[in-house]
Amino acid sequence: MLPFLIAPSILSANFAFLGQEVDKVIQAGADLIHFDVMDNHYVPNLTIGPLVCKSLVDYGVSKPIDVHLMVEPVDQMIESFASAGANRISFHPEATRHVDRSLQLITDNGCEAGLVINPATSLDCLEHVMDKLDFVLLMSVNPGFGGQQFIPHTLDKIRLVKQRIQESGKQIRIEIDGGVKVDNIRSIAEAGADTFVAGSAIFNQPDYKHVIDQMRAELSK
Ligand code: DX5
Ligand code: ZN
C-alpha cells in the first residue's frame, strides 16, 4: 500500500501571510502543498497563478507543490506552472481538447501528472490514459470553492477507480479533494484513497498540527 499523504489546500490560508502559512502547515506535518488555480471561466472563482507559485518556491517551500488547475484552456498553464517550480500538476479533462497531449506535456515538463474527475464526470475518461497517470484526483465537491460538504457517493467512485488501477497493474495514487475532515478521512481511506486534500478543516482551526495529528490517528486505526 502507498503511504498516506496529507495535502493542505492553501485556498483556505490567509493570503496576507502565505509564506508563513505554508511554513506553519509544513511544520504541522503536511506532505504536499495543494495549490488551487481558478480562472473565473472554468470555475466561478478566481485565485492565484504561476507568479505566486514561483514566489513560494523562491521563498523555500520544502514540500512538493501540488497544482490543481481549474482553468480552461490548460496547456499554457501547465508550462507556466512547471517553470514556476510545481511538482505535480492536474487538470480537468473537460477543460482541454487533447487530454493525452496535456498529460504528456506535464510529464515532459518534469512533473507528476493527474487527471481530475468532477462529481458528475464518468470514469470513462481514464480508460485510454492510464499509462500516462501518476495520480487520479477525485473531486468530492463541485470545484470552485473551499468549505463545501463531502458528497457521499464519492466513496463508491473511489472504489471503482481503485479497481481500475488494480486491473491496470500500475502504481497510480488516488487523491480526494473537497470536504475532507477528521471525521470522514478514515472512511475515505478505507474506500481506497491514499492522498487527502483538506483546506477548511485545517486552516479554519487555530492549531494545524492538532488537526493533522488527528487525521493521521484516524488513518492509522
Ligand atoms: C475546490 C478545491 C479544493 C478546496 C478544498 O475546488 O479544489 O482544493 O480548497 O477545500 P475544503 O477542504 O475546504 O473542502
Ligand atoms: Zn483542489
User: Distance from the CA of 180 to the center of ligand 1, in angstroms?
Assistant: 9
Residues tagged in the binding site annotation: 9, 34, 36, 68, 144-147, 177-179, 199-200
Atom of ligand 1 nearest to the CA of 180: 12
Q: Which ligand is nearest to the CA of 143?
A: 1
Strands 173-177 vs 112-117: parallel, antiparallel or unpaired: unpaired
For 37, the 3-state DSSP assignment is: strand
Residue 36 pLDDT exceeds 90: yes
Q: Give residues (CB < 6 A) around ligand 1.
A: 9, 11-12, 34, 36, 68, 141, 143-148, 177-180, 197-201
pLDDT (0 to 100) of residue 63: 98
Sign of CA dihedral 37, 42, 43, 46: positive
User: Could you tell me the distance, in angstroms and rounded to a whole number, from the CA of residue 146 to the centre of ligand 1?
Assistant: 4
Give, using CA atoms, the residue closest to atom 9 of ligand 1. Answer: 146
Q: At residue 179, does pLDDT exceed 90?
A: yes
What's the CA-to-centroid distance between 35 and ligand 2, angstroms? Answer: 7
For the record, the C-alpha cell of 43 comes out as: 470555475
Work out the pLDDT band at 127, boundaries 50, 70, 90: very high
Q: Say if residue 13's pLDDT is above 90.
A: yes
The one catalytic residue in 131, 177, 183, 213 is 177
126 neighbors 161 (Cβ within 8 angstroms): yes
Residue 36 among the catalytic residues: yes
pLDDT (0 to 100) of residue 6: 98
| 19: Cβ contacts below 8 Å, ≥ 6 apart | 55, 56, 59
Q: Which three cell numbers stand for residue 51?
A: 507568479
**pLDDT over 70, % of the chain:** 100
The binding site for a divalent metal cation comprises 34, 36, 68, 177
CB atoms within 10 A of CB 131: 9
Average pLDDT, the chain: 98
Residue 44: pLDDT above 90? yes
Residue 93 has pLDDT above 90, yes or no: yes
Helix (H, G, I), strand (E, B), or coil: what is residue 69? strand
pLDDT value at position 146?
98
Q: Is the pLDDT of residue 95 over 90?
A: yes
For residue 181, give the ligand 1 atom closest to its CA. 12
Kindly report the CATH class assigned to 5-219: alpha beta
Nearest CA to ligand 1 atom 6: 143
ipTM: 0.99
Which pTM does this prediction carry? 0.98
- Which pLDDT score is estimated for 1? 83
Over residues 127-151, the mean pLDDT reads 98
**Cα 139 to averaged position of ligand 2 atoms, centre (Å):** 8
pLDDT tens by residue, 185-215: 999 999 999 999 999 999 999 999 999 999 9
Residue range 144-164: mean pLDDT, rounded: 98
